[in-house]
Amino acid sequence: MAAGRFLMVGAGLSGAVIGRHLAEAGHQITVIDSRGHIGGNCHTERDAETGVMLHVYGPHIFHTDDAEVWDYVNRFGTFRPYKNRVKSTTRGLSGEQEVFSLPVNLHTINQFFRKTMRPEEAHDFITQEQADTSIENPETFEEQALRFVGKDLYEAFFKGYTIKQWGMHPSELPASILKRLPVRFNYDDNYFFHKFQGMPEDGYTAMIARILDHPGISLRLETEFTPEMGEGFDHVFYSGPLDGYFGYELGRLGYRTLDFERFTHQGDYQGCAVMNYGEEEVPYTRITEHKHFAPWEEHEGSVLYREFSRLAEPGDIPYYPIRQVKEKELLAAYVALAEETRGVTFAGRLATYRYLDMDVTIREALDAARGFAACLEAGAPVPAFFTSPL
């Protein structure tokens, strides 16, 4: 197979992983990004004042059951063990603010209801006394929560937080958002279930820099992509916004974005990495204290961010695809346009308009690179998507 010249639009995980795979196969890869750094929203950097490793676009905790993906990231970085243990400040049954553990677990249930139940007792209490069993087929987020945990826990931990995060009432959101309701009837407060969990010792940006460190890869930052750029390459992999590739000609896909309010503290401000705020009256969704994302380090100073969610406007960084009915209709129209476009493959969270965890992003990038190589070998057409956005 003759060596090709391929353009990766985006220096995040998708572009880096696909580019590395193809570079190792002997191809010449150019990676461009409109930002002045690599890593996309996984970008990390040291704070000049405190030395704390900052997750610049919000926390990213690596967790997966995919052994190949876990081996892949460990090839390019040393991962330290890290368990995500989230707390929530919200009103208890007394009406006073209290701090609880998330996800909802046996400690949360006993603390909230002022009881000392064993696992079986707590299970029966929630399913028989709290859950609204009259809701047989939950269709909305609110019905899903009421069906499985009942009114009290729903209003304390899910209702206000969801209204702030999504900008709409849970009764307007599909039940699928809360499909796997995190409730445990033991004292396990590890937020994730996955077999492999950790944090790169020197940050995600250093890891992605090593992925891109190959003689077959050239990198150009602060470079805006235009479709005409693809004319000088054999194929383009595009990981930017799907609607942006087409100049938003059909309209803009809806996203939620985040605003961060930074503040510093001498010492330990909240004693944990993530503190949610479940009440709608508190304007921010959570406070993150970034030195706790690297518990193997010691820092006197601390850097924290209050997070505020809102509807994304042109020029904002898109975070969470809304994917309601009208967005899905517009997405289908853009997918049809993409499938008529030759010489371009769309990959990654923005180009497929889906919220993707990092491990899924890497898995899909590896699969796309292998699928692309197979198409080249067979002389077959290269699809616009190796993973359907629909």
DSSP state of 65: S
Annotation marks residue 357 as catalytic: yes
Q: Which residues of 50-70 are buried (b: 16+ CB within 10 A; e: fewer)?
A: bebbbbbbebbbbbbebeebb
Cis peptide before 103 (omega within 30 of 0): yes
Tell me the C-alpha to C-alpha distance, in Å, between residue 373 and each of 9, 59, 319.
18, 34, 30
> Three-class SS of residue 327?
helix
Considering only CA atoms, give the Rg of the chain: 22
Annotation marks residue 180 as catalytic: yes
Task: List the end-to-end C-alpha distance of the chain, in Å, as a whole number.
Answer: 33
Active-site residue, selected from the candidate residues 180, 298, 313, 377: 180
Sign of CA dihedral 188, 193, 197, 199: negative
Active-site residue, selected from the candidate residues 20, 147, 256, 354: 256
Annotation marks residue 210 as catalytic: no
Within 231-300, strands assigned E span 235-238, 255-266, 274-277, 286-289
Within 8 A by CB and 6+ apart from 71, the residues are: none
Whether residue 138 contacts residue 144, with contact meaning beta carbons closer than 8 Å, is answered with yes
Provide, for the chain, the percentages of residues in helix, strand and coil under a 3-state DSSP scheme, each rounded to the nearest 5: 35, 20, 45
CA–CA gap between residue 30 and residue 43 (Å, rounded): 20
Active-site residue, selected from the candidate residues 47, 243, 307, 364: 307
Active-site residue, selected from the candidate residues 320, 357, 367, 370: 357
Cis peptide before 383 (omega within 30 of 0): no
CA–CA gap between residue 304 and residue 228 (Å, rounded): 42
Annotation marks residue 305 as catalytic: no
DSSP state of 254: P
CA–CA gap between residue 27 and residue 55 (Å, rounded): 32
The runs of H, that is alpha helices, within 6-86 are 13-24, 67-75
**Residue 138 main-chain phi, psi, to 5 deg:** -60, 130
Active-site residue, selected from the candidate residues 286, 349, 354, 363: 286
Annotation marks residue 5 as catalytic: no
Active site residues: 180, 184, 256, 286, 307, 355, 357
